[in-house]
Structure formats: structure tokens, C-alpha cells
Chain A
């Protein structure tokens, strides 16, 4: 399923997206089995979509739908069974970890540090892939790290210890580290999972702004229906390892389809902004 033409998008938004394709996921599939003798435990069937600079793509689906696996394939952590993933024409899996890290930044849900570190040290780690492996940080690196913290609104956290700040603040610092990598592609795996509503909105607002300002391509894995609807330019809908549909929220958010995927009664309405809104019905 292709990403569709510009006609399917909100005409106001097409101006801020680049016209060239940056990320191209082509018929990517994956199978994983713990025991070679048994049948594969988890599969991802052939999935394709494309993304442009400045675009936010949401990979949406219930648990165990293959969202994280798809993200790992895009990040290069896993090698696809078939198909390929191209970033500006380069096959991501064939890049060395260092060159890959210069182009792709991954934001995980949590970061466990064995020994305590300050926030600025943490963010500076993002600069590791630029320059030689063993080196001292240049003034450029320091400026980029400071700027990254400022961009996520965490400049005041710079000297704080990572294990002493709140979940939301930590998430912002982790994002700053990803920004310090100066990537082309920003991948986030369920970034809103441990955050309260205000922090969730703050994070996604920041992502939208950053994508527009810095021309990132952002791919977010989430199961939050309304957040995806509000912020994504494109949605990849997954269920049980299959990609059901790719397209702008308006074309994905249809009641029968969502009810079947999420196994729960709901209604869909469209707000003034043109974005759909889902109301989950409890009971019955």
C-alpha cells in the first residue's frame, strides 16, 4: 500500500513537508523463533510505507501487533527476513553502527544507567557517533548538546543528576540526546507510556515543532488513538503482525475498522481542525 498522493493530505500541511522521499520501507517482513525446530513465534508480514522530511508517522495498533518489531527493523537493530529499508537511498541494515547513528536516533521508553550521570553528560553521549571514537568533546559538540536541551525545554535540567529528575523530565533529556545526534530520522517507541497528560501533550508538541523546524522524519510507535490522530501526518495501522492500512488519519480512523482492530466499541467524530477524534464506549 503506498503512502497515497498529496490529495489525501490536508492541503495546508503539504507545504511544510519535503517533496522527496526520505524513508522507504519496502515489503519488509520478519520472523522470530526462540527454538529453530518450532514454528516462528512472531512474524511481521510484508509491510511498506514511505515518509518525507518533516513528516510524523504513527505506527498504531494494539499490543503484540508488531509495532515495536517494525520500529526495530527501521532502526537497524534487526535484519529483515525479506524486503529492505532505505534511508536517503542507503540500506539501513548495511550501514555500520556509527554511520547509522549519525542518521537515525532512537528514543526508548526508559533509560537505565548503571552509574549516576548528569543530564549534560547524558546528552553529550549523542555526539559519540560524530568524530573519532576516542576523543574529547569539542566546543561544537558542547554547543549542539546545549542547543538540544534548549530545544526540548530542558536547559535548566542541565546540571541535574539523571536519577533525581521526574519521568517527564527524563524523557525530555532522552529526546535531547537523540536530537544531539543530529539525525535525519527520529524513532520513538511508546514515548508517552509513563507520562501524565500534560507531559504527553508537551512531548508531542515538541516533536511536531522539531520536525517542522529541523526537517526530521519522525516515526512514533503508539497505541494512543487520539494522540496519533492529532499529531500524525500518516498512520500505519497494524494488527497481529499485519499492516492493515497506511494513510492520513482521516482515511484510517473509520469506525468499523478501528473497532475490529482494537476489539472495543467506539465512535469517531471529526473536529474543527479536520482531525478525527475517537470516543471509546465503555460498558454494553
Chain B
């Protein structure tokens, strides 16, 4: 009998954080423009000690202004999607659930398209113009979350099966509207298809990173408070209730927080696929199904996965960039089949 202790949890997370650090260093080093490790270390130290003005313009800007924000975005997106995927798998009691199964990504894409349609008619300062697509996507996600919530209720409470059905139907409906709009719109939407596949090069203001980080901490924290409840929920809803879980409250908190995380990630990076589906399974295989361990390790594991995928996306056919979602799909799908065959998923 080896029950979970705080010390073991911190140890497991520390190992993953070390791996994350290594992956970040690799991601900072590799790219279309070669950067030496020495220059990398020197410039990073300068940043930490506030001597940014001394960074040579050649490497400094590439590392600090291009790769570092991208890596930060990758961490937030990867962590958000993995936590959301883990939560939905528990909430819907379905190992095939991923963050997009309840239609949030379709809602976000539709919001982004509407923002693009509306943009020429609004005279915005350049500051807001750049944020319009992520903002539209986030609003679209929020609207979808609300709609699916009301669809997924039975007798006043969220019911897993009804929620799943409502979410899937809403997702298909919104996708159909998106396809219709894309085929009839006058402007060229080639760029939007690229975004919808998932990519990390969206330009964002510093304040947006703050919002993303805070949003992730709050939502993931809320889900983490229900970690023990989720363990019991997997045994069955009636049993969980008999063991003391306030099932309706837990379902509501997890649904809103996980959908919020998904909306956050999709608004800034499009729909990066397979991360939210596979990272929870891999972490479950390594660390077990206890959500007190699974949630933090999935978050860090998701960050690692997205950064590795993004590094590949930036380097495999450099200087052209492949969307991150394409890399995760190419790697993720065979990996999932492999896991299935080993009956781990």
C-alpha cells in the first residue's frame, strides 16, 4: 500500500519540470536561425538581471522577442489543453474525450471568422486590431460553453450523457456554419484555415500573457480542488454521491473551468489537436489515475508536448513554418493507436 503523499507528488512534478526546462532550452536554441548555446545562455542571463539593452541585436531579439513569447504561449496552451482534456475525460466518464468534444473549438473558430468579417467596418487602433481575432474567438467559445450548458442539463443538473450529446451536436452545427461562411465570403480566408489548424505565432500584447497566465492558474486551481472528487466520480455517479461527493457542484465547476481553459487556449492558438486527448493517457500510464497527481503532471506534460511539437514545426521545413496542429496530429494519431493496442488508453 503506497498512498499518495505530498512529497511524492512534488518529486514527480519536479522531474517533469526539469524535463520541461531542458525542452525549453532546446526550443530556444533551435530554429530557422542558428543560435549558439553560449549566446543563448549569455542573453538569457542578461534578461534575468535586467540588462536587456546589452543584448546583441542579432540573437537577442530572436531569442527574447520571437522564441521566448512563443514558448511561453506553448506552455500555457499545452497545460490548458491537457488539464481540460483530463477533466473532460473524468466528467464525461469517457477515455476518448478531448477538450474539443463539447464544441468549444468550433465556437471559437466561428467567433474568429465573425471578428474577421466585422473588422473592416470598425476603425480600431492598431492595438485592438491585433487582438480582435483572439477576442472574437474567446467570445465565441464563451457563447458555446453557455449554450451547451443549457443543452446538457437534465432536471436542472448537468448530466454526462446529455452534455456529451449536446456538445457534439453543437460542435457539428457550428462547423457547418463555418464551412458555409468560408465558401461564401468574399475575402480570402486562407490565413484562417492556417489558424484553425493550430499555431503559436499569433502576436499578442504583454497584458494578454498576463491574462492567460492568471486565467490558467485560476481555472486549473479550481479543477484541482475537485481532484479527489474526480477520482470518486470515475467509480460511478451514484457511488460517488454515496461516498460524499457533491456531484452536481463538482460537475458544474469542472465543466465551466475546463471549458474556460479550452476557450483560452483556442482563442490564441487555434485548435491544436491530440494534446488534450493523449497527454492525459500517457501521464495516467506513468503516474496512475489519481487526479491529484494526474492534473499537475498532465499540465506539465502538455507544456512539454506542445513546445516539442512547435520546435519541430519551426524547423522541419525551415524557413517555412508548419502549423503546430499538423505536427501534433502526425505524431499524436499513431501514438494513440499504439497506446490503444497496448490497452492503456
Q: Which A residues lie at the B interface, using CB under 8 A?
A: 75, 77, 96-98, 100-102, 104-106, 108, 111-117, 120-122, 124-126, 128-129, 133-137, 141-142, 145-146, 158-159, 177, 181
Contact = CB atoms under 8 A, between A and B. Distances in A.
B242 A114 contact: no
Nearest to B294: A115
B292 A134 contact: yes
Interface residues of B, number: 32
Given A133-B228, A134-B225, A134-B228, A128 B245 contact: yes
Given A113-B234, A125-B231, A159-B1, A134 B224 contact: yes
B290 interface: yes
A121 B289 CA distance: 10
Interface in B1-30: 1, 3-6, 9
Interface in B277-301: 284, 289-290, 292
A102 B289 contact: no
B242 A158 contact: no
A101 B241 CA distance: 8
A181 B232 CA distance: 14
A185 B227 CA distance: 27
A134 B230 CA distance: 11
B246 A115 contact: no
Contact of B239 (A104, A111, A116, A158): A111
Interface string B226-244: 1111011011101101111
A134 B3 contact: no
A68 B90 CA distance: 28
B244 A100 contact: yes
Contacts of B243: 101, 125-126, 128-129, 177, 181
A111 B236 contact: yes
B224 A129 contact: no
CB-based closest 7 A-B pairs: A129-B244, A101-B244, A115-B289, A106-B242, A98-B244, A120-B1, A114-B234
B93 interface: yes
B241 A97 contact: yes
Contact of B232 (A77, A125, A136, A158): A125
